[in-house]
Every structure is written in structure tokens, then in C-alpha cells.
């Protein structure tokens, strides 16, 4: 039995959210791309991580208009099976890569505060590039099976084609089961690591009485901002997704409850895609190089007149 249907509430709520996110995220990330590609002269490991986070965001921005169009059509996917797989693959890669690089940035801040003399803090840009390449390899390896999965399904009642990666109500394939597992674990494991980093930083600040130093305050702000992004963007999808899996396992005949949960899950995707809109804030908070380059660029264009501090680049917060 399948509980596939077009979700009318989702069609009313989510498209406006996605349109606003796209309108805000695209210019913010284009400015960031301009900074990284044309204005950035001093590269460090942290800016390499942020550049890769930016690349992940563009995978979302390319894919998002097709999801908006589909939702406005009442979830009728008109772009064919091949693009359905590619579209969902790119969205999944964005989520996985964003989680990966946000976690790397937070752990980098953690080492700079808690273990300032650790070898990790002396990582070169080449080594940072290798780490990013490894992260991409893992993400792609975990998400490539989506390209082989039968993701398009037909709603017989409404005679429309649905393109969802979380759509099978019964007997999901091994690939879809793997997709479920990756979706949950890629959030839970980094989230627990982020909570640990946050608590450890707070303890170190308290014990060493370093909480008034600007570079340390900036580091904890970065970690807390990343925790907030995880909570706002990814936690709603995990909570509703786990509820759906619970129904699949323990109440397989409760189609009505499953439809309600899937509506909440689909609406949570509006928060998931918000990460590309919020990431430019992380670029500014996390990297003094990016921050000062942005200020200098805006000053040169005559848009604003920001004060650029030479001391900020020497503070060690990259």
C-alpha cells in the first residue's frame, strides 16, 4: 500500500518560503563568490572551508527553482525521470556537504580556543583542500545511489507525477533505506559533536577567564551560530522524518497519520533550504579575512564607508 498524494497545505506554505529564500540566498552567495574569486588575496584554511560551503550552496540554488515550480503545480513534476534523480541528488548533496563543512568550521574554532597550540591549528591551505576533497568524496559516495533509485511515482487519484526522495510508504528499496539512514546520521553525529564543542568552549572560557578577549568571543559566536543553523534548518526535518519512520515500522496501516507527518516533513524542507540564505552570515562571522575584504570592496565601490581593522586579521580568527 502507498500513501502518496499531493499535499495541498505544503503547496500553499512552502513555495513562498522557498521564493524568499532564493531571492535572499542568491545575491548573498553571489557577493560571497565575487569576494572569494576576485577580491580574496590572503587565503587560510578557514577560508578554504568556507569556499567549499559556498560551492555546496550553489548546488541548492541551481536546484531550488525546479522544486518551487513543482510545488506551484500541485507537486506535479514535469521535468522527467532523469532530472528528478539529478535534482534530488543535488539537493541531498547540498545538505550533506553543508553539514560537513559547517562542522569542519566549528571544529576549527573549537581547536583554536580549547587547544590553541595543537597541530591542527597549523594546517596549510593545501592540507585544508585535501580535507575538503575528502569530504566531497564521502558525500558523493553516500549520495550517488540516489541517481539509480526509482524516485518518480504516480498519484493515481490525481494523475500527477511525484518526485520525492521520501515517498515510499511500504517496502522501500535498499537505496531508499540507505538514504533514510544517511539523512538521520549525517545530522545526529555532527550535532552531538557541535554540542560537545560548545560546552567545552564555555568551560574553557570560564576556567581560563578568556571570555572578554575579542578573538575568543568571535570563536564562540561562530560555533553558536552554526548550532543555531543546525537547529533551525535541519532539526525540524529530522524530527518529522523520525516520526514518519516510527509510523512505518510500528503503525504500517495508519495511512492518515503518515500523511500528516509527511506534510510536516515536506514543510520542514522550507527550513532545510534556509541554510544557503544564512551561510553568508557565517562567512562574515567566521573569517576576518572575508569580513575585511568585503568591507574594503564595499568601500571601493562607494557603497559604504566601513572601518577596516588591521588588527582583526592578526587576531587569529582567520
pLDDT of residue 316: 43
Decide: 193 and 184 in contact? Cβ < 8 Å.
Answer: no
User: CATH number of the domain that 225 lies in?
Assistant: 1.20.1070.10
Residue 3 falls inside a structural domain = no
Q: At what angle do helices 8-34 and 288-300 cross, to 10 degrees?
A: 80
Residue 1 falls inside a structural domain = no
- Is the full-model pTM beyond 0.85? yes
* Cα–chain center distance at 247: 27
pLDDT of residue 1: 44
Instruction: Provide the domain limits for residue 224.
Output: 8-314
Residue 178 falls inside a structural domain = yes
Ranges of the chain whose pLDDT falls below 70 = 1-8, 155-158, 166-172, 209-216, 302-306, 308-318
Domains held by the chain: number: 1
Residue 55 falls inside a structural domain = yes
Residue 194 falls inside a structural domain = yes
Q: Is 171 left (phi over 0), alpha (psi -120 to 50) or beta?
A: left
Residue 2 falls inside a structural domain = no
Residue 68 falls inside a structural domain = yes
pLDDT of residue 202: 81
pLDDT of residue 315: 39
Q: How many residues are given for the chain?
A: 318
pLDDT of residue 201: 85
Amino acid at each position: 500500500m502507498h500513501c502518496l498524494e499531493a499535499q495541498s497545505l505544503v503547496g500553499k506554505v512552502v513555495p513562498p518560503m522557498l521564493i524568499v529564500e532564493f531571492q535572499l540566498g542568491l545575491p548573498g552567495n553571489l557577493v560571497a563568490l565575487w569576494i572569494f574569486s576576485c577580491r580574496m588575496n590572503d587565503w587560510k584554511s578557514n577560508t578554504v572551508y568556507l569556499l567549499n560551503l559556498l560551492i555546496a550552496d550553489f548546488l541548492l540554488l541551481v536546484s531550488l527553482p525546479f522544486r518551487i515550480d513543482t510545488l506551484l503545480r500541485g507537486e506535479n513534476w514535469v521535468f522527467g525521470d532523469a532530472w528528478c534523480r539529478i535534482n534530488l541528488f543535488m539537493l541531498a548533496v547540498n545538505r550533506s556537504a553543508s553539514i560537513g563543512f559547517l562542522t569542519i568550521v566549528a571544529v576549527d574554532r573549537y581547536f583554536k580556543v580549547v587547544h590553541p597550540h595543537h597541530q591542527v591549528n597549523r594546517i596549510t591551505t593545501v592540507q585544508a583542500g585535501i580535507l575538503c576533497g575528502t569530504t566531497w568524496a564521502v558525500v558523493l559516495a553516500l549520495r550517488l545511489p540516489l541517481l539509480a533509485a526509482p524516485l518518480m511515482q504516480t498519484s493515481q487519484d490525481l494523475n500527477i507525477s511525484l518526485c520525492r526522495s521520501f515517498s515510499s510508504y511500504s517496502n522501500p528499496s535498499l537505496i531508499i533505506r540507505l538514504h533514510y539512514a544517511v539523512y538521520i546520521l549525517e545530522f545526529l553525529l555532527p550535532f552531538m559533536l557541535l554540542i560537545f564543542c560548545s560546552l567545552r568552549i564555555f568551560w574553557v572560557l570560564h576556567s581560563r577567564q578568556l571570555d572578554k578577549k575579542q578573538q575568543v568571543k568571535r570563536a564562540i559566536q561562530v560555533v553558536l551560530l552554526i548550532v543555531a543553523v543546525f537547529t533551525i534548518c535541519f532539526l525540524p526535518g529530522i524530527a518529522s522524518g523520525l516520526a514518519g519512520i516510527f509510523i512505518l515500522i510500528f503503525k504500517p496501516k495508519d495511512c492518515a497519520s503518515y500523511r500528516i507527518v509527511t506534510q510536516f516533513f515536506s514543510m520542514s524542507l522550507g527550513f532545510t533550504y534556509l541554510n544557503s540564505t544564512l551561510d553568508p552570515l557565517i562567512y562574515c562571522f567566521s573569517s576576518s579575512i572575508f569580513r575585511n575584504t568585503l568591507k574594503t570592496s564595499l568601500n571601493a565601490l562607494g557603497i559604504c564607508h566601513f572601518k577596516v581593522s588591521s588588527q582583526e586579521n592578526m587576531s587569529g580568527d582567520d
